[in-house]
Each structure stands twice: as C-alpha cells, then as structure tokens.
Amino acid sequence: MSGLVKGSVAVVGAAESDLGQVASGNSPLDLMAQATIRALDDCGLTLKDVDGLFVAATQVRMGPMALAEYLRIKPKYFDGTIIGGSSFMSHVAHAQAAIQLGLCEVAVIAYGSTQRSVSRAAASPREFNPYESPYRPILPISAYAMAAARHMHQYGTTREQLAEVAVAARKWALLNPKAWEKEPLTIEQVLNARMVSYPFTVRDCCLVVDGGGAIVLTTPARAKSLKKKPVYVLGVGESLSHANISSLPDFTVSAASESGPIAFKRAGLKPNEVNMLSLYDAFTITPILFLEDLGYCPKGEGGRFVADGAIAPGGKLAVNTSGGGLSYCHPGMYGLLVMIEAIRQVRGECGARQVPQCDIALAHGNGGVLSSQCTVIFGSENTI
C-alpha cells in the first residue's frame, strides 16, 4: 500500500451547527461542539470514540487544543492545518493518511465561526502586507474581482454570466430549508445591487453568517456497523499556489487544475462520471474557474457554460445544490459545509433538491485569495 488508497476511509457522520445568526455570546467553540455532537449522533458514536481531531478556525488560533479542551477529549492524532476555506478538504486527506496508518480510528473534523455576530473584520483580521495594504484592496473580495476582470478581458466572460452563478445558487437555496436566503433573485438584481469591488456587487459575494459544521470519518470496517450508510472518500487532491494575490501567476487559472487531477487519479474516475459538484462559491467567479480547472469545460468557457440556467435546478449539471456560499450559508471558511452537502447528496438525504442516483459527488474547496485548492471525491457503496 502506497499513498492514499481509494475508499480506505468513510464519512459516517455529518452535521451543521446552528446557522445564520446565533445569540450573542456564543463562541466559535460552542458552534463547533454543537456540530460535533450532532455529527456523532448522526452515526451513533460518542465523544469517547473520538481519537483524531482536526480543527481550523480564524477566531481560534489553536483549534485542536481549544476544541479538545472544550469537549474534554484526548485525541491520539490532531491537525490544525489552516489554509483558508479549503482547510477541511485538506484535513480529510490528512485524516485519511492517519487512519490508513492506524494513528487514529475515529476522526472528527470541525469548524465554527461567529463572524456575523462579531463582524467579518473582527472574525478574520487581515495581516498587514507592506506591498499590498497601502492600496486598500477589500480583501479577499478585490483579489477575486481582479481574477474576474482578467477572465472577462481574456475570454469575453460577462457580468451577466457571473450573475447566473448567483441566480442558480438562489434557485437551489429555495429548495433547502436551512438556506439563509428565502427570496428569489434575478440577474438584474445582481447587476444592480450595491457595487463592492468591480465587477462584483454585493450579490456576487458570499454571505456573512454565523455557523459551523463537523464530519466524522472512520475505517470502512467500523463504518459498516454504524447508523448511516458510509460515504467513501474515493480521492483527495491538495495544492497550494501562493498566499498573496500579487503572486498568482495567471489570474484565470487556479490550482484546482492541480488538485482536481490528483483527486480524480486517486479515485480512478473522470469528471463526467461525477453526479454532482459542490464548488466553493466565495464569489461568482469561483465556480466558473473551478468548472474549467476541474475539467468540465475548456479554459475560458466557464462563463458560457453556466449561462441559461445550466447549473440551476433542472440544468445540465447539478452544482451547489445547497444554495452554496452565495445563498445557503457562508460562515467564513465554508469548505466543511461544501463537503457536507456532497456527503448528503451521496446519502440521498437532500429532499426537494436531491440529485437522482447520486453515487459520486465532488467537493472542491478554495482558500485565501485563490491560494489553496483541495478536491475531495465522495462515493456510495456502489463505487467501491
């Protein structure tokens, strides 16, 4: 056995914390704990079973320590890798490695944020960069806005095509009772909303809400004895390309073009074999870039690919069925919730928004300013 093996671990529990606006005084750890207990209840395990702990949060600098203390558990293996919103996909890769090596058997990956309650500026203070900060970009928004502007210039992508991503997300959100947004949205409303960082209006940008989540992973053998059908990790890919946006070589290409092929290779699958995609939609440009970089359309065609409701309910490809970071929930580092939707689709738990016969789902995480890209492919028992 060499490297990460297809199906060597399974997700057995998945849950969100309370989402949206929580009562003041709640800490990110309160939400992490709530999500962790719910995820354990989801599979029938308890805190006593947890021997691996993976935590990342912007408001808790030493996550594994803080959550272990809160829950009074003593994990044998822990990891606090923090690379932005994709941290949790990275944690899946690291948990898979640890479980394969026998370093732990039941791993919890957890996240929590109270960024709506305390403000985004307080929840995620920016580091000072003497080569960028004087220009006062609204980060991370302006970094993605400059990627969108370059994509528009180079490939003819339009603001209307960007808006299609937000409108599709809203249509899915209206099918998800847990979604923050409850009203329909039109392309015109996106275009005419308050401008934040051209070409993005506030409707091109993800939500700012409180929330968290947790998932539980274990060995296939242990997974078979638990409450829910296991969702197997078929392949994971991780890639880092830069930290500051000034160091991204090509603003129209993300490192999803590296993480995606690694994940597909490990899974032994091709892009067209996937039944639904959960793509980190921090901004309307990101699903467009990831559809290109993950192999769903040629480079530059992402804007035209999403046009005419192609990724909305009833479209040609099911993308961000939860409503995404744009309309369902975006508590800061949203990657764990990106995976939870993919896991639920494979389980068949998604009700009105369920993708028929969803055996394979891809969750793609993005962190920083297009900086870290991690891809996880999940599969049902039929795929093993």
Are β-strands 195-197 and 231-240 bridged in parallel, bridged antiparallel, or unpaired?
unpaired
**Least distance between another protein and beta carbon 161 (Å):** 17
Measured from the CB of residue 143, what is the shortest distance to another protein in angstroms?
9
Closest to another protein by CB, 195 vs 352, is 195
Taking the complex as a whole, the smallest distance from the CB of residue 147 to another protein amounts, in Å, to 7
Site for another protein, residues 50 to 89, rule: CB under 8 A:
none
By CB under 8 A, is residue 117 in contact with another protein?
A: no
**Nearest-angstrom CA–CA distance, 215 and 355:** 21
- Cβ proximity to another protein: between 6 and 150 the closer is 150
Q: Output 54 or 200, the one with its CB closest to another protein.
A: 200
DSSP 220-244: HHHHTTSSSPPEEEEEEEEEE--SS
Q: Is 251 in the site for another protein (CB under 8 A)?
A: yes
Token representation of residue 213 = 């989540």
Q: Does 286 bind another protein (CB under 8 A)?
A: no
Q: Residue 107 CA to chain centroid, in angstroms?
A: 18
For another protein, what does the binding mask look like between residues 118 and 157, x meaning CB under 8 A? ------------xxx-xxxxx---x--xxx-xx--x----
Which of residues 26 and 124 has its CB atom nearest to another protein in the complex? 124
Give the list of residues 6+ apart from residue 376 with CB closer than 8 angstroms, or none: 89, 92, 93, 233, 235, 236, 263, 339, 342, 362, 363, 364, 365
Site for another protein in 171-230 (CB under 8 A): 194-199
Rounded Cα distance between 54 and 46, Å, is: 16
DSSP, collapsed to helix, strand or coil, labels residue 149 as: helix
Place of tokens 């990724």: 311
Q: Which residues, numbered 322-351, are part of the site for another protein (CB under 8 A)?
A: none
Amino acid at the residue 278? S
Least Å from the CB of residue 379 to another protein: 38
Tokens 């947790």 -> residue = 214
Tell me which residues touch another protein (CB under 8 A): 130-132, 134-138, 142, 145-147, 149-150, 153, 194-199, 245-246, 251
